[in-house]
Amino acid sequence: MNNIITELNRPVRRRLKKVVQFNKDGNYRRRAKAILHLHQGYSRKQVSQLLSARRTSIRKWIQRFEQFGESALVPENRGRAPYSINETICTRLLELVQKQLKEFGWFNSRWTSELLTRQINEEFQTCIHSSTVRKLLPKLGIKWKRASPTLCIQDKEKARKMKKIEQALSGRCSKYKNRPCCLGRMGK
């Protein structure tokens, strides 16, 4: 009986009754009904049976109501968080795409959506996902393709290898001066 609400002044009771009568949110009505029933002297067990709610839920509603008042019963807004992209982020994205990665300490050869996202998140202390950046770039007028892998390692023996390839394609190997190349026979 220690969780029953004993003090509930008249204006609060009237507002809760109006919530029960007119509000469209069923969960809000249910919480208001629970508080009113508890004020009338019902136990938590009886209220849970009347409203088909768990006793733990009713206990939480009581604790929140006693701690925060009527505002604790009001439902929170559902849905996704507000859109966090603004003009400054868009202009910064445009600037980043035009600059080299090495200016920011990255060793890649091209910008990827993941790198752009990491750079933006570091600069603005946000939590934007790379897919959001990928969707945003065409809207900003940037044609975006996947980064093609590029190797910066130069082969020191490229000239020798190319010479062998050319010899093989011409049909003569340097090993066997007057004989046709084994690679030439494979192609026939």
The confidence score (pLDDT) of residue 188 equals 42
The confidence score (pLDDT) of residue 184 equals 47
The confidence score (pLDDT) of residue 16 equals 92
- The verdict on residue 146 lying in a domain is no
- The verdict on residue 80 lying in a domain is no
- The verdict on residue 3 lying in a domain is no
66 shares a domain with 16 = yes
The confidence score (pLDDT) of residue 54 equals 93
The confidence score (pLDDT) of residue 158 equals 87
Per-residue pLDDT of the chain (188 residues; tens, 9 = 90+): 455 777 888 999 999 999 999 999 999 999 999 999 999 989 999 999 999 999 999 999 999 998 888 888 888 877 776 667 888 889 999 898 888 888 888 888 788 888 999 999 998 888 888 888 888 888 888 877 766 666 667 778 888 999 988 888 887 655 555 555 555 444 44
67 shares a domain with 27 = yes
Cβ(53)–Cβ(34) under 8 Å?
A: yes
Q: Which of 72, 107, 122 is the last residue of a domain?
A: 72
- The verdict on residue 122 lying in a domain is yes
Cβ(44)–Cβ(58) under 8 Å?
A: yes
- The verdict on residue 58 lying in a domain is yes
- The verdict on residue 123 lying in a domain is yes
- The verdict on residue 131 lying in a domain is yes
- The verdict on residue 1 lying in a domain is no
65 shares a domain with 22 = yes
Q: Which of 72, 99, 125 is the last residue of a domain?
A: 72
Q: Which residues contact 180 (CB under 8 A, 6 or more apart)?
A: 171, 172
Amino acid, single-letter form, for residue 131: S
- Structural domain including 27 reads 10-72
167 shares a domain with 134 = no
**Total number of domains constituting the chain:** 3
pTM over 0.95: no
The confidence score (pLDDT) of residue 110 equals 82
Amino acid, single-letter form, for residue 76: E
